[in-house]
Amino acid sequence: MKLLHSAFLAIFLVALYAGNAFAQWDHLLHKTYAQRYRDVGKIYLRIMPNRDSTTAFASMDSIRNFAIAHHDKDLELESDLLKAFYLTVWNKTQTERIVAALHDLAARAAEQGNLQISVRSNKVLADYYWDDEKNYELAFETFIREEHFLNQVSSDVLPDKGYCLINMASAYHHFSDYKKALSLYREILTLKYNPDQYAGYNSALCAIGNIYRQQSNLDSSDHYFRRIIRKESPGNFAVWEAIAKGGLGENAYLRGNYAEAVPLLQYNIDHAVSQNDFGRAAELLIIRADICLKNNAFDQAAQLAETARRYLNLSPADRYKHFPELYSVLVKVSASRGKARLAETYLDSALIAKDSLTRMYNARLMLRAQQKIELRELRSKMEKAESDQKLKLIERNLLLMLVLLVAAGAVYVYRTQRKRHQQAQQLKELQIRQKEQELENATLQLNEFARNISEKSKQIEALESRQGPDAEALSQLRQSTILTQDDWDYFKKLFGKVHGDYLRRLREKFPELTQAEIRFIALTKLGLGYPEMSATLGISSHAVRTTKYRLLKKIEVPDDRSLEEVVMDI
């Protein structure tokens, strides 16, 4: 009897605990996502910091069991999404498990017509591909699926629709797809105001302003920064006001309106420092230092540049993107003080920093291109495996259906040939895409070659305008830009990839041309001006003009055409 009594007591306590555990989820039952949006957010905030997966999964399973017991399919999907998101936070290396869970969840949501879970499950998967796997191609494919569902749901159903859009827009912006990014940012501005999502609205305005600046459309950029200042969206206004004023200050600086730019920039700098946003403060301090240089306030420019350098040491890893501009300012400061050797050192550092950032960006582009190729190859293999499986099934059926041997054999041959033709076509298309990728890479490198020449030419011109007593050091710096034989060989290799047999056609059409004249024509086709040609060929601007005049006579350019036109038509 005592044993039986103990058993009944244990059963009662378990039932009581289960009842209490279930009772805590009553406020979530049979509500829309919009109705339980804040409560769900509180659950995420409570569970996500818990690194003990045992207790975390116990809480999530409690929600799921409660939902199943009360036939709430939406809440059941919500608990599964919570678990998948938890895995992306604390179990990032379990890629197969995470991807499978999110694909399964998205499929179940689509089957049940649950649009908000369809959107959010694809968002979690896209974020995982982007942030943790660095697989940009799969991330963009997932963004496309997410956008498909987003277009079918309003912010009344999905309160965090703005954040979903801004996440996608940022990804397209990251790869300089301004048209798509602007489209998504503008869509955020059409959403109904949500006090929980105000930052998304202001962030979209700020991003649009930045994109228009990157496209040199400063008037449109000003318009969107001023919309922030007009307080179209409340909440944390001081932060966004400071950022918007800083954006207006940058635009004024680009226009050359330095008196207007300085107070706006300083307002943002002061606020950024108060918020420990040292990266933003350093970025604007560098602009202020350059303004001082243009006003010949060299000592103040040096102080601002050193402060910016100190702030960059306090900022996150992305501080390196500001180094090219900082070193460029330090080049001018050193030159103004007659320290040509130090200026040369800073110039090298600026060029190295720019090259490093360019290589990093190009590496991301190439990584995405490689991921695209690998994804196509994987799908091709999957299709081939599926095709092989079907072929085997056909063969087995043929053996079982002897009476239809001739007819089935004809079908088999037809389908086999068709599959092989498709695979051959896919292989050919893949080879064509690889060739196109090689051409694109060569074009990027050739453009970078021209850009580096232009940058060095501009830096030398800036130093020449402030040349100090050490003229020999400046002369050595000028010599470092001259195109060597190795440079020319590398240039011809890139030039040939982009422009084919242009140089051969040129020699055939004008066999009397010298090597120097051929170099001049190649640089002309690349679009370089007199200063860049002068720096690259190691001759004076007058000599460049003389070479051009001699070429006009030698190749008999008609009076109604320019040398550039003839060069482009060869």
pLDDT of residue 298: 92
C-alpha to C-alpha distance for 388 and 94, rounded to whole angstroms: 30
Quick one: pLDDT band at residue 274, thresholds 50, 70, 90?
Answer: very high
How far is it, in rounded angstroms, from Cα 385 to Cα 480?
57
Q: Tell me the pLDDT band of 91, cut-offs 50, 70 and 90.
A: very high
Residues 6+ apart with CB under 8 A from 322: 279, 282, 283, 286, 308, 312
User: According to the model, what pLDDT value does residue 220 have?
Assistant: 97
SS3 category, 222:
helix
pLDDT score recorded for residue 6:
39
* Of 131 and 566, the one with more pLDDT: 131
pTM (2 d.p.): 0.62
What's the pLDDT score for residue 271? 96
Q: CA-CA-CA-CA torsion for 427, 429, 432, 434, nearest 10 degrees?
A: -70
- The tokens for 162 are 């703005």
**What value does the mean pLDDT take over residues 511-529?**
84
pLDDT at 14 over 70: no
Residue 256 has pLDDT above 50, yes or no: yes
Q: Collapsing DSSP states into helix, strand and coil, what is residue 295? A: coil
Determine the Cα–Cα distance for residues 531 and 254; give it in Å rounded to an integer: 23
Q: Residue 15: is it exposed, middle or buried by C-beta count within 10 angstroms (0-12/13-18/19+)?
A: exposed
Question: Does 389 have pLDDT greater than 70?
Answer: yes
Lowest mean pLDDT among 106-115, 342-351, 511-520, 534-543: 534-543
**What sign has the CA pseudo-torsion 381, 142, 185, 280?**
negative
Domain ranges, ordered by start, for the chain: 7-111+124-133, 494-570
> What is the predicted pLDDT for the residue at 12?
31
* Fold assignment, 494-570: Arc Repressor Mutant, subunit A (1.10.10)
Cβ partners under 8 Å of residue 533, min gap 6: 520, 523, 524, 544
Which residues neighbour 137 within 8 Å (Cβ) at sequence distance 6 or greater? 368, 371, 372, 375
Q: Is the pLDDT of residue 248 over 70?
A: yes
With 0-12 / 13-18 / 19 or more C-beta atoms within 10 angstroms meaning exposed / middle / buried, residue 465 is exposed
